[in-house]
Amino acid sequence: MTAHLIVERAGLLDTLQDRGRIGFQALGMPTAGAMDRIALRLVNALAGNTEDLAAIEIGVMGPTLRVEADGVRLAVVGLVALELMGAPEAPPKPLEANRSHLLRRGQRLRVGMVEGARTAYLAVEGGFAVAPFMGSLATYTRAGIGGVEGRKLQDGDMLPLAQAAAREREERKLGAPFDYGSGPIRVVPGPQADHFSDAGHAAFLGSDYVVSKEADRMGIRFEGPAIAHSEKGPDIVSDGIAPGAIQVPGAGLPIVLLADRQTVGGYAKIATVISADLPRLGRMLPGHKVRFMAVTVAEAEALRREQDRRLAQAIAGLQPAMPEGGIDLSALYERNLIDGVVWA
Amino acid sequence: MSIRYLDCGDTAFSVEFGTTIAPEINARVMGLHARIAAERAAGRLAGVVETIPSMRALMVCYDPAAATRAELQPAIEALVSGGLEAAAPTRAMAIPCCYDDPEFAPDLAEVAQRTGLSGEDVIARHLASDFHVYVLGFMPGLAYIVGLEASLELPRRSQPRVRVPRSSVGIAMNMTTIYPFDSPGGWHLLGRTPLRMFDQRRAQPVLLAPGDAVRFRRVSRAEYDAIAAQVDDGTMDWSTLEVRPS
């Protein structure tokens, strides 16, 4: 018997995303993949997956999903309201995010607005049984490939589950929200730093830039002081574009290129956002103000290693969580102890 | 020009062989691209994830959890200084193109007028051009194919079209291209191929690869329709496009 999650009502921008389509950029194929690799890793760990399987990336507002399986364990990471709906007459019951839940056949999960970030993620234990395209499930809507028919989820989609029923184990929750860092967004200058004037570099590293409304999975355009080019100008003979590359077209406003970026491009790139700060940048909503700060490649690599270490620590520190409607003996015990203290 | 190693953050760096479009520069890019692929196939260069060739530079993408720039760059430098064989074209492809339907070739008359040639001369020179795929980019499967005969060189259209139909064949500067999807585009359209540059039903979804030698083969509207029908219903034998290098 097949197991599915049914999309009763789609959200605004739900797509299946994994770590991306790696190895085909020489053929002009963008990697796509999750905008927030940290949240993808956490949501998979909560769902009980040992590696990064494809999850639903939720943009702005999430879907309502119905369980057509004997049981499914799922997890959501992000600041987002969740409601569990069982019998039609029963009132919806709020569920916590940042933990796993076991849902039964016929139950529905309503995922609300995503707050404080552009994306939230929903993973299922065992992952989705969707055929990969060029080695990945990542949805790239511009070419209509990956995920579900190469598009965002829509009403009535049936997402096949790789696992027919949930494994027997306790639920897990995140000990504390992961710290994405704060302060300036760190960048490595180059590859075309010589296409910008001294005044252009000073403006870029010395001014506030604001996330504009022109922000999607391909990139974020910033508003702020124009960045002046040198006599070499804004155009180059196209070369490769790394994740986080900051291209500056003729008008002088920087565009940071993200998951759905094209593989090569013909505008001079002043710097590249370091990989440790890219998830934080990708979460920013329009109106968010940032400063850019220059670091070296070696510093960037060290910052990434430190972040990877903290992420591994957060996953090792996942805590047991009370099952829905079940009895959490350790919590009861703690409560009794506290009661004991109060009443002693 | 000396080779420059350009910083692209902590997940990539670019090996820049030049700043212009020239066969000898692109040959070195493709030589290093092939050399790194061979090294990786032999289990070396751990941490390199993939390489992205462009006209004049090779971007080396790496996983900062598995390798550092300080380890990788000397290894790449050693490959470069060991000499890069100008990789022979991997394949020679003959791409059928129909120039005879005015709907397929809306810019043929203007190109003829601006180059002072007849329409038939423009077609003959496009057919006579020895092309090589230098890079794919902009969208999946879109190949920048260099080698257009000099007498046909024109800048891009001053007014790009909002929608260029899939499989249109266009020219601009010293290049030709074939649009893999309906998309905006600014090249001068001379014809259309019944093939699809990108088709996810194929085992190899992207038809052309960097390094391919390309010639165009003129087909009538009737032959165009016959091939297009095979492409549509999935019975096309793609191996027939490959011709032996002369």
At B145, which CATH number?
2.40.100.10
Mean pLDDT of B165-176: 96
Check A22 against B11: CB less than 8 A apart.
no
In 10 A of CB A169, how many CB atoms?
12
Check A239 against B70: CB less than 8 A apart.
no
* pLDDT of B135 above 50: yes
Check A298 against B6: CB less than 8 A apart.
no
What pLDDT sits at residue A266? 85
Q: Is residue B87 part of a domain?
A: no
Q: Is residue B142 part of a domain?
A: yes
Q: State which residue of chain B sits closest to A261, comparing Cα positions.
A: B138
Q: Is residue B46 part of a domain?
A: yes
Residue finishing a domain among B49, B81, B113? B81
The mean pLDDT value of chain B amounts to: 93
Residues B112 and B229 reside in one and the same domain: yes
pLDDT tens for A207-244 read: 999 999 999 999 999 999 999 999 999 988 889 999 99
Residues B116 and B225 reside in one and the same domain: yes
- List chain B residues with CB under 8 Å of A274: 9-10
Note whether A180 contacts B: Cβ–Cβ < 8 A: no
What pLDDT sits at residue A325? 55
Check A23 against B33: CB less than 8 A apart.
no
Q: Is residue B185 part of a domain?
A: yes
pLDDT tens for A31-82 read: 999 999 999 999 999 999 988 999 999 999 999 999 999 999 999 999 999 9
Residues B161 and B185 reside in one and the same domain: yes
Mean pLDDT of B199-218: 92
pLDDT tens for B58-106 read: 999 999 999 999 999 999 999 999 888 766 767 999 999 999 999 999 9
- In three-state secondary structure terms, B237 is coil
Residues B11 and B114 reside in one and the same domain: no
Pairing of strands A269-273, A245-247: antiparallel
Instruction: Please tell me the least confidently modeled range out of A262-276, A316-330, B18-32.
Output: A316-330
* Confidence band for A330, pLDDT divided at 50, 70 and 90: very low
pLDDT tens for A130-171 read: 999 999 999 999 999 999 999 999 999 999 999 999 999 999
Give the end-to-end CA distance of chain A in Å, rounded to a whole number: 56
Phi, psi of A78 (to 5 degrees): 140, 170
Q: Is residue B86 part of a domain?
A: no
Residue B169 has, within 13 A of its CA and on its CB side, a CA count of 28
Residues B170 and B71 reside in one and the same domain: no
Residue finishing a domain among B59, B81, B103? B81
Name the domain count of chain B.
2
- List the structure tokens of A269: 């790139």
Residues B77 and B178 reside in one and the same domain: no
Residue finishing a domain among B50, B81, B112? B81
Phi, psi of B229 (to 5 degrees): -65, -40
What pLDDT sits at residue A51? 87
Mean pLDDT of B107-112: 97
Q: Which of A26, A37, A35, A59 is nearest to A134 (CA)?
A: A26
- Percent helix, strand and coil across chain B, each to the nearest 5: 30, 30, 45
- List the structure tokens of B106: 């809306």
Residues B127 and B161 reside in one and the same domain: yes
* Confidence band for A324, pLDDT divided at 50, 70 and 90: low
CATH of the domain at B10: 3.30.1360.40
Q: Is residue B65 part of a domain?
A: yes
Q: Is residue B166 part of a domain?
A: yes
* Confidence band for B245, pLDDT divided at 50, 70 and 90: low
CB-based contact A195:B19 (threshold 8 Å): no
ipTM rounded to 2 decimals = 0.92
Residues B66 and B122 reside in one and the same domain: no
Q: Give the whole-number percent of chain B exceeding pLDDT 70.
A: 97
Check B7 against A301: CB less than 8 A apart.
no
E-strand ranges in A155-201 read: 158-160, 171-173, 185-189
Q: Which domain holds residue B19?
A: 4-81
Q: Give the whole-number percent of chain A exceeding pLDDT 70.
A: 93
| Rounded CA separation A41/B197 (Å) | 35
* Confidence band for A335, pLDDT divided at 50, 70 and 90: very low
* pLDDT of B246 above 80: no
The mean pLDDT value of chain A amounts to: 92
Shortest distance, CA B120 to any CA of chain A (angstroms): 32
* Confidence band for A90, pLDDT divided at 50, 70 and 90: confident
Residues B97 and B76 reside in one and the same domain: no
Domains of chain A by start residue, with CATH: 4-175+317-321 (no CATH), 185-306 (2.40.100.10)
| Rounded CA separation A186/A299 (Å) | 10
What pLDDT sits at residue A1? 59
What pLDDT sits at residue B158? 83
Check A239 against B21: CB less than 8 A apart.
no
Residues B77 and B96 reside in one and the same domain: no
**Residues 6 or more apart from A292 whose CB is under 8 A from it?**
A184, A185, A186, A187, A204, A205, A209, A246, A271
- List chain A residues with CB under 8 Å of B11: 242-244, 275
In 10 A of CB A319, how many CB atoms?
13
Check B55 against A237: CB less than 8 A apart.
yes
- In three-state secondary structure terms, B37 is helix
- List the structure tokens of A120: 């939230």
* pLDDT of A342 above 80: no
Residues B112 and B231 reside in one and the same domain: yes
Q: Which of A139, A119, A138 is nearest to A283 (CA)?
A: A119
Residues B17 and B97 reside in one and the same domain: no
What pLDDT sits at residue A341? 42
Q: Which of A78, A90, A86 is nearest to A117 (CA)?
A: A78
CB-based contact B46:B66 (threshold 8 Å): yes
DSSP H or E segment with residue A266: strand A264-267
Shortest distance, CA B56 to any CA of chain A (angstroms): 7
